[in-house]
Amino acid sequence: MNLNEYERITLINQFLLLQENGVENGHYDVKQYQNYIDILYNGYEGLYDEIFSSLPRNIISKDVSDEVGEILYMYDRAEISYSNLSKSEQMKIDVSDITFHGFDGNEEYDHYAICTFIIKNLKYYSSMFKTNELNSHFRTLGKYREQLKKFNEEKVSGDVLTLEGLIKVFQIKLNNFIIYIFGLCSQY
C-alpha cells in the first residue's frame, strides 16, 4: 500500500486526536496510537498493515451496489404493483412469487453484504421485509438479472407493473385452480 504525504499527515493527525482523547476502539490501544504515528511519520510502508490489518480487504464496487439497489427497487415496485391490482387479479398471484428472497451469503457475498447494509443499517426498503433473513442460502443473482431486464421492458408509469407485467417479470405460473374456483364463484 502506498500513501502520499497528505494521506500520511491526515492519518497522523487522526491518531494524535485519538491518542489525546484516550479513545480505545476495537483492536486499537491508546498506547498503540504512538506506534501508528511513528510508522506513518517515518513512512514505513512495510508496516502499514499494522495499522490497517483490521480493515476488510474486499471492496464492494459501485457496480454491485447499483445492481443491488436496482433489484431492491424492482421488488419494491412489485409490491406496489401488486397492491394496485384488483382483488380478483391478486388472487391469481402467489405473493411469494414476488417476494425478495435475498442473496446467497456464501456465493453472492458482495451482493448479500451491501443488501444487508442497505436494509438493516440505512433502513431503505425495510418495509418490504417481514423477516431479518436476507441470506437466501441459494444463488439468486442470475434470476434477479433476468427479472431486471424484463422489468425495464414491462414497467409503466411510476415504474409499476400490470398483472401481465408481474407475470412476465417474475415468471409467475398462475394458479389455475384458484382461477377456476374464482370463475365458478363469479358465475353464481
Q: Is residue 26 part of a domain?
A: yes
Q: Which residue has the cell 442473496?
A: 103
Residue 112 has pLDDT above 90, yes or no: yes
Residue 83: give the domain boundaries.
62-187
Closest CA to 126 of 135, 116, 136, 112: 116
- Using CA atoms, how far apart are residues 134 and 136, in angstroms rounded to an integer? 6
Q: Do 75 and 162 fall into the same domain?
A: yes
pLDDT for the residue 27: 54
Q: Do 17 and 101 fall into the same domain?
A: no
Residues 3-16 pLDDT 10s? 999 999 999 999 99
Q: What's the pTM value of the predicted model, to 2 decimals?
A: 0.72
Q: Do 127 and 35 fall into the same domain?
A: no
pLDDT for the residue 180: 43
What's the structural domain count of the chain? 2
Neighbours of 59 (CB within 10 A): 9
Residue 115 has pLDDT above 60, yes or no: yes
Least confident range from 49-58, 85-94, 101-110: namely 49-58
Residues 39-55 pLDDT 10s? 999 999 999 988 888 77
